[in-house]
Structure 1
Amino acid sequence: MSDRPVVGFIGLGLMGHGIAKNIRKGGYEMWVRDPFNRASVESLISIGAQESASPKDMAGKCDVIQICLPSSHHVESVVRGEDGIIAGARSGLVVIDASTADPGSTAKLAAELSEKGARLVDAPLGRTPKEAEAGTLDAMVGCDENLLEVVRPIIECWAGTITHVGPVGSGHKMKLLMNFIGMSYGALFSEAVVLGAKVGIAPKVIRNVIGPSRMGNGFFDTFMRYVVDRDRDAHKFTIANAAKDLRYVTTMAAEAEVVSIMASAARHYYAHVEAIGHASDFVPMLSDHVGALNGLNLAETAR
């Protein structure tokens, strides 16, 4: 790999666009691909990126490819597909997977890439699309220390904090633990505001009491900004992603032979909202659905 590697980027959604933009602004030659986010592709082209015809084509042109996709299924498709990264991989290629993924899948992909002389780094993200655009995300990195130093300058373009968690796969495990906590907060806060409303405590009062206390946190703040203020964009993380991540958590727990009562309980709320056709709702909107399960219109209560 040269001192200034050519970087490819696949997946220009809410998080990916900001990350790719900051890598490009860091001075890297860049190739991008996303068949579903045309506006993001055009945005990157406007600042000097080029569009790649396929992951295979990208692998033939790039030294490093970063992926930021919704699930392991999507990652596997762009890595293993007929026109995938493996089909075009050259020895020395590094793939950075910033998706929230199943660690079991990550381990298999790392082994398959190594057969082509390529290496995998898992570097999932913490924080929100706002920080993605600002270049101040948190990165949880799984790879050996020497490889981390190779890719660190690229990750520094988009991350304010970089934590080396351990060997490949460790970053995805840490991200699942983080999202297990976060999505469980979502379920817990939903039950709490609905129970409060049913016994005569308004959501605004709950926010005023809990927010400044030791139990307040950033997740609580954005969650309650939707519940109380009805700000739909307060926390732009979908129910579909939350449900997927909790499925990965419970799978990880099963493989580790760990009892996972809390993760399983939280997962059912999100699975319910998916099942009734609201997978594209954002996580704080779970509160409305928990309200409906209890005969309560939470929007009216908040007003």
Structure 2
Amino acid sequence: MKLALTHVSTATPGTAEQRIGLIGAGRMGTGMGISLLRHGAELHIKVNRNRVGADRLTAMGAYEHTAVCELARHVSAVVLSLPSSCEVEAVCLGQHGLFAHLARQSLILDCTTSYPASTLALAEQAKKHDLHFIDAPVTRSPEQAERGQLNAIVGSDENTFPAAARVLTAFCENIVHVGDVGQGHKLKLVYNSMTMGIASVAAEACQFAQAIDVDLATLRSLVGRGATNSGIFQSFAAFLLGETPDALAISITNARKDIECGVRLANETALKIPVLTAAAQKFHTSVAEGKGELTLPHLALSEAKGS
């Protein structure tokens, strides 16, 4: 199905004085929260295992709650920035979840890279509680989240989209409406699968160059002048050359989750994607070897350096 794309200017009226919840104060979520506070939102956050982001947000005026149900009673919109659909389902469902405790007509924006089937099921459950559940996965980095420069890929009905855009405009530079609920997560999985596929090829090219004594800086210069160039390869090269130690700070475990979800979605359509399937296996192997918590550019280290 061809999707109609609607771009929304970040001049859209925003979040001033709006009471917004944030669940998932990791690196990306913390950046979103900082931007929401900067735009005047009254921010409520759920206690997070990693205190770094939560402490930054509470120091800037966010209210912290120990339970999802407690947070839900204070807000009319909730932004989710979680590792996967499993965590999204956990905070939405059950007697202590968002669906049971949010006020009627409240809005839930799932900015997680979630699985579309789960998203559709949650949206149906939300309707039964007179709530609006939409998918709004984002691209770009935590640093860009903090500066309000993310891209949001939104799946929602036409009536709910303007309310979603008013929240997203606080931390997004570009907001693209790609269709009904679920379509945002479908597009994000295609996007992330391509990203991780390119990362797998770039990693092996860097290892190949080292193995045959090809200078990486020279290779980078050559690649940068041709159609083969990519931001992924350039980030890998900058990491390997010691220029940007924190390049592409997504973990290999999270990257594996994204591409495996993409392969699963393709398989459900009976589409064969052998190249992306092989890339997914590379990530699976890296995690099995104990490299899951390392960042993405570590894929490009030779086995000798990696050890």
Tell me the TM-score normalized by structure 2: 0.90
Match of 2:255 in 1: 242
* Counterpart AA for 1:245: D
Deviations 1:187-213 (A, max 9, x none): 001111222233332322221110232
8 Å contact 1:230–1:299 — kept in the other structure? no
Query: After the TM superposition, which of the residue ranges 47-56 and 157-166 deviates more from structure 2?
Result: 47-56
8 Å contact 1:193–1:287 — kept in the other structure? yes
Paired residues in the alignment total 293
Match of 1:115 in 2: 128
**Identical pairs, percent:** 28
Q: Deviation of residue 118 (structure 1)?
A: 0.7
Query: After the TM superposition, which of the residue ranges 180-189 and 25-34 deviates more from structure 2?
Result: 25-34
Match of 1:229 in 2: 242
Q: RMSD across aligned C-alpha pairs, in angstroms?
A: 1.9
Tell me the TM-score normalized by structure 1: 0.91
* Counterpart AA for 2:268: E
Where 1:138 maps in the other structure, the secondary structure is: strand
Match of 1:164 in 2: 177
Match of 2:56 in 1: 43
* Counterpart AA for 1:56: C
1:17-166 to structure 2, matched below 5 A, reads 17-166=30-179
**Alignment partners' CA distance in 1, 2:194 and 2:76:** 35
8 Å contact 2:75–2:102 — kept in the other structure? no
Q: Deviation of residue 112 (structure 1)?
A: 1.1
**Alignment partners' CA distance in 1, 2:159 and 2:227:** 39
1:170-249 to structure 2, matched below 5 A, reads 170-229=183-242, 231-249=244-262
**Alignment partners' CA distance in 2, 1:53 and 1:285:** 35
Among candidates 266, 271, 285, match of residue 298 of structure 2: 285
Where 1:276 maps in the other structure, the secondary structure is: helix
Structure 2 regions of 5+ residues with no counterpart? 1-14
**Alignment partners' CA distance in 2, 1:152 and 1:125:** 13
Among candidates 273, 282, 295, match of residue 269 of structure 1: 282
**Alignment partners' CA distance in 1, 2:255 and 2:52:** 25
**Alignment partners' CA distance in 1, 2:227 and 2:83:** 33
* Counterpart AA for 1:63: S
Q: Which runs of 4 or more aligned residues in structure 1 lie more than 6 Å from their structure 2 counterparts after TM superposition?
A: none
8 Å contact 1:59–1:93 — kept in the other structure? no
